[in-house]
Structure 1
């Protein structure tokens, strides 16, 4: 018996005193899939063109080892997944097509992503998808789907339609539903006169994109709001109110991104409300140090609160969890590992609560016990359960994963020029 298992058995007894069966918790955790985002590996460059990132987003840093080809990116992803317990998903953007054809965003087809699907089958991964409404010449004057220019709108409408068919292809081939998430950067840098018409155009463009019925067993559409972006500081067409209304009336998943709200807002407090009325939820878990700065996810209070809300309210079944951060100042493979491991940890920590008992005493008005118990749980041996989960999933325990990432950096990443 390993030291890790011995400590786990001790922790198991400790949690059993509260009525928590850690073996059952780990079985539940195995069912949770995190959609790891491809764009951490190459700083949102993609493989469509050499244009710099535009559309309200940017990446800082120049750490060595950035993936330059689809093959290098998949190699890095395999390394990252080898450091993360469980079987998960990969979240692709449309600009990550893998083809020798000269093809534009309004021409992409499932065949341009066949290599990704073959790789996902080999790795036993699901795939999610995103249209790319940025970093393109047809992103004109800060607008795409809400543009007053009909030609611009038609280009992006066609792009959106094609991404839905690609997501459908992912779902059919891999046997896992592919979430296709729509975010557009449209907006004004300074105060507009007309806030209404751009939103009407966005609504009509989206309605046309979603006019084709696609089996929800294969793909689900999601819509994502944003407070503001670089170049759209004064007015964002796709606000939270717009997409909440759109998602609820069109039966779309509503995407809640941790960095897309006011600096004092948190998404954890919104999940139970959205869940009451929405078709489902898509989470983009990030860390907004200064609003939407998309830092690597750490085990901070908000991440743990998101985990608790998902578990306490039994929302894991209707919530799709994806990551959205990008940091080019550190080892990119390590960034994936840190953020994904922490997201899984937060859910595990929440599962280790005696949720039913805590709800019971709350309903009875026993707030003293509620406070005492939730505070004492902070000192329980959560890490011993996590380490055991890593061990039984045959991934590095503790800081051993960092040694693996550093070795990979030395042998692979540092040799890229």
Structure 2
């Protein structure tokens, strides 16, 4: 772990009392030193040393599994260990993830498969196995919960943790407890993780990307402003391509430039986003780690092997996606008030449309009827390479699909879907299908 913000070397000189740390492999204490810091563990000779002036005073962490899907595939098939590996769809699909060997050739997540194959023709390509990945993700989550109940999942392979006040429980600092967790995940699950440790979620997330794979990186309070100053504005959460270009057009390319501006000035220029920029540019983030963090949306999508322009063919692809979203809503005990349709043209232009329902729904049929209505407006002969559907503005399950006196068939459709769900629970997902699936 090299660089001014890694756990090996503090950014500025500190007193000998503060320079102690620990070995990330054997856990041995690294003694404080008046001269140059020790580069190897005195016990096991490892170079993986955790050392930072604020190492034992920070408790907000972000844990991110390293190349998650690819790591699981390599774990389960040792013959893939030293080969470049891509997990993704067919020639027309995209890269779900890739191992670090493939990344050396320029392959990246979300890259079109044809481009990835061109960059790394020797790569082994395997299709994603989401059921297996979810199972491993739940195993990792269970181990996280052994450290603290304050675990906020971000996705299947990452989460925020708040270890404030856990020192007495674990008889060690949060940094040491997190490192012990990383070793346990490696030993018991067979994959690796990277850890970011800081004083808030924004900085912990940034830190977890600093030293992948198997990293433990720290951003302390004292170095926050200096660390952020040299970084591009795109590092700030919420600054996408359009906002970045707008800021750069206004002469604001670095976070350091934002740090010189007042909140009033930024709010005058960019509205609510201006205040957001002001605080995050200074490393100020008061969001709590929330184990009940709300799911913002539930969606599913598919990329076609060949472009599709015909409405009937597009509708046929839409139905199983609505069933997937419906099943996920029911599993999460949620319902959606807004249906979202996503299309990507053959030229990679993204088309996004949405419609608000009169009441929240969990039903695949209701999702499909609304999404198909949106689809009909866009199916004008344009060739599409991808279609997706999602449910947004989520409500509890008990708010879903109330009796609609204006639609006498609504209750019958709900009962039919409940019956289908019951058969599938007993006999499997393919035991019964609607005729629409057979078109």
**Structure with greater strand percent:** 2
Tell me the TM-score normalized by structure 2: 0.25
Using the size of structure 1 for normalisation, the TM-score is 0.26
By percentage of residues, which structure has more helix? 1
Who wins on radius of gyration, i.e. which is larger?
Answer: 2
Larger relative contact order (C-alpha < 8 A, sep ≥ 6)? 1
